[in-house]
Structure 1
């Protein structure tokens, strides 16, 4: 733990760049989600027994897109979550370093290298979305 030479202003500059990039990722992910929803809606439906288009189930393309999104959801959520955890860990480690607590700085740095719990993040996001849809928040 000895020999650290951290420049708080340098860390602040890098964190600013990381957060800006994470904001861009989040915007891109939002656009991706809206685009997939639009594509799924435009993909048409399957008709059964000569019934009209409105009486069918989701079309094969829409089903395939839904399965693709479900299969890549964890990977897509990982990127901005990882960036955020790393940035927050760097800030915590720098603050601890500045206050003279090298052990706390080391612990914050170590915690920041751990992979984020994407499953818990997605569950919380789904719960929040459900509550919003139900008008509870």
Structure 2
């Protein structure tokens, strides 16, 4: 592990800026989920005119639901990958400062591992799905 030349002050400045950006991205994702649900319900429903008289989500609402279902896994993957990277960089830097390069390397290696994304439902696609 020789050859490491870390400037902790610079690392923590970057981690702070990345943490702020990750928080903004998380807030945007939460708002998008809420807005998609509102848009889907506001888009109207389909009602059978021949009975039984039940309503189901309309075409736009169904499309928005499918959109969210398709991209949810990737959005969770991005959030987990970002969190793991920020935490790993923090831990590796703390070990580096303490002079423990072995633990620093372990923290770095753990942060680089592929995150697991387990969402309920079928049709698993995107990063973290089996076969990828």
Q: TM-score, normalised by structure 2?
A: 0.83
Distance 1:79 1:110 in 2: 18
For these two proteins, the number of residue pairs brought into alignment is 120
- Offset at residue 16 of structure 1 (A): 0.1
- Offset at residue 49 of structure 1 (A): 2.4
- Offset at residue 50 of structure 1 (A): 5.1
Distance 1:31 1:90 in 2: 28
Structure 2 partner of 1:57? 56
Distance 1:16 1:43 in 2: 40
Distance 1:77 1:63 in 2: 21
| Regions of 4+ moved over 3 Å | none
Distance 1:86 1:40 in 2: 34
Secondary structure (helix, strand or coil) at the match of 2:113 reads coil
Residue-by-residue CA offset, 1:48-67 (whole Å, 9 max, x unaligned): 1256xx84111122112111
Residue-by-residue CA offset, 1:45-96 (whole Å, 9 max, x unaligned): 1111256xx8411112211211111111111112222111101000110111
Structure 2 partner of 1:93? 92
Q: Where in structure 1 are there 5+ consecutive unaligned residues?
A: 124-137
Structure 2 partner of 1:131? none
Q: Where in structure 2 are there 5+ consecutive unaligned residues?
A: 121-132
Cα RMSD (Å) of the superposition? 1.9
Residue-by-residue CA offset, 1:100-129 (whole Å, 9 max, x unaligned): 11111011111111222222xx46xxxxxx
Which structure carries more helix by proportion?
Answer: 1
Residue-by-residue CA offset, 1:18-66 (whole Å, 9 max, x unaligned): 1000001011101111110111011111111256xx8411112211211
Structure 1 partner of 2:104? 105
Secondary structure (helix, strand or coil) at the match of 1:57 reads strand
Distance 2:21 2:49 in 1: 51
